[in-house]
Amino acid sequence: MANPDEVTHAPAIGPASTQTRRAGSLKTGAGFRLVGQRTSAVAATVWLAATALGASPSWTELLQRSDDWHRGTAGRLATEHVLAWQTAAGDWPKNVDTTGPVIDPKNEYRGTFDNGATTRELRFLARAYVATGEDRARQAVVRGLDHVLSAQYSNGGWPQSYPPGPGYARHITFNDDTMVRLLELVRDVATRDDWAWVGEAHRQRARVAFDRGVQCILKCQIRSGGRLTAWCAQHDELTLEPRPARSYELVSLSGAESARILRFLMNLEPPSPELATAIEAGASWFEAVKLTGIRVEQVANDRVVKPDTTAPPLWARFYELETHRPIFTGRDGVKRYTLAEIERERRNGYAWYGTWGESVARDYQAWRARYGSIKPTTSSLDADQPPSRDPLTTSRNP
């Protein structure tokens, strides 16, 4: 499963900017003008030379770069690349290094919100604009932000991509933290001083989108046996019921996505009674479904579950709705109850177990220490809340 926080090392191919396609040239922030059919090849050479001394940085690192870096050659060149990767709709593709050059301008890649795409590019260009005053960065952010706000359903959810199409991408998408990342973005647009330049109209739209999105999360929390529990990785865009995605991603209670949702909710201040109820229920569910007495290890290039009474607790990626038993599925789409029952390729190619509940328990203890009693509030977004330390997470813990 792709880590959305890491810049991929795959060749960067995708749509060129309108300027590049029309003019056949690209003037970089480093002062280079790349002309004609050799534009992409020269751009790639320049970028590779600039990054030859070190590995590609993570997006977390890039979003923490200083104003001086953004004003320098490397920062301006990265900005040019990110601008060139933006689609006509205003979003960005996933699983490519959008800080690197567009190698194939004829390849029209589809933008998405999946795997951290679009939210990270918008944050990067917003930082670039504040540091450099580059108006093309400002325009790209406004266009991208408009795309994000337009993509939100009236019930507050977001699809995986927009327009969503007929497949599972149309569902409200918690998978790989898609909706949480979008909510963190619009929260920051609405509240942080370094986003004030977008204007009051966009900030108000972002505030409305945030509150609507939080309400959607609360309405999606699944009841099982009469009790609130956790969330599926996808929910129906109309009924809010849990929905499947790929053949091995069945309707379920998701340990991974629910952990991120709960940590996000615990960061909202002050919590309303409704919000507190959701958090208490979710934290209780994580405690109830933790798996003890087992460990997962690699044996002869295969992932194996072994008994171990000394091992720390684990959580399954997916739990059955009715029984809360861990479930595992191969590409045949058949539900099974042990990892060993699915094919080797899927056993080793997906995150079936994790320590997600540890962060929930840690944050829940801190949350309970802050709120001995819950006071009512009319909004889940406090305009005076301090900005998060990590621009890609609202958690108080590293």
Long-range contacts of 232-236 (CB under 8 A, 24+ apart): 232/174, 232/257, 233/173, 233/174, 233/175, 233/257, 234/168, 234/171, 234/172, 234/173, 234/174, 234/175, 235/157, 235/171, 235/172, 235/174, 236/171, 236/172
CATH number, domain 207-398: 1.50.10.20
- Per-residue DSSP letters for 143-207? HHHHHHHHHS-TTS---SSSS--SSGGGSEE-GGGHHHHHHHHHHHHHH-GGGGGG-HHHHHHHH
pLDDT tens-place string over residues 203-259: 999 999 999 999 999 999 999 999 999 999 999 999 999 999 999 999 999 999 999
Residue 142 has pLDDT above 90, yes or no: yes
Residue 105 has pLDDT above 80, yes or no: no
pLDDT tens-place string over residues 182-194: 999 999 999 999 9
Residue 116, token pair as written in the block: 């951290």
pLDDT tens-place string over residues 94-103: 999 999 998 7
The reported pLDDT for the residue numbered 55 is 57
The reported pLDDT for the residue numbered 103 is 73
Q: Which conformational region is residue 61 in: left (phi greater than 0), alpha (psi within -120 to 50 degrees), or beta?
A: alpha
pLDDT tens-place string over residues 317-351: 999 999 999 999 999 999 999 999 999 999 999 99
Where along the chain do the CATH 1.50.10.20 domains lie?
207-398
| Predicted confidence band of residue 39 (pLDDT cuts 50, 70, 90) | very low
Number of Cβ within a 10 Å radius of residue 66: 11
Does the global pTM surpass 0.85?
A: no
pLDDT tens-place string over residues 109-123: 899 999 999 999 999
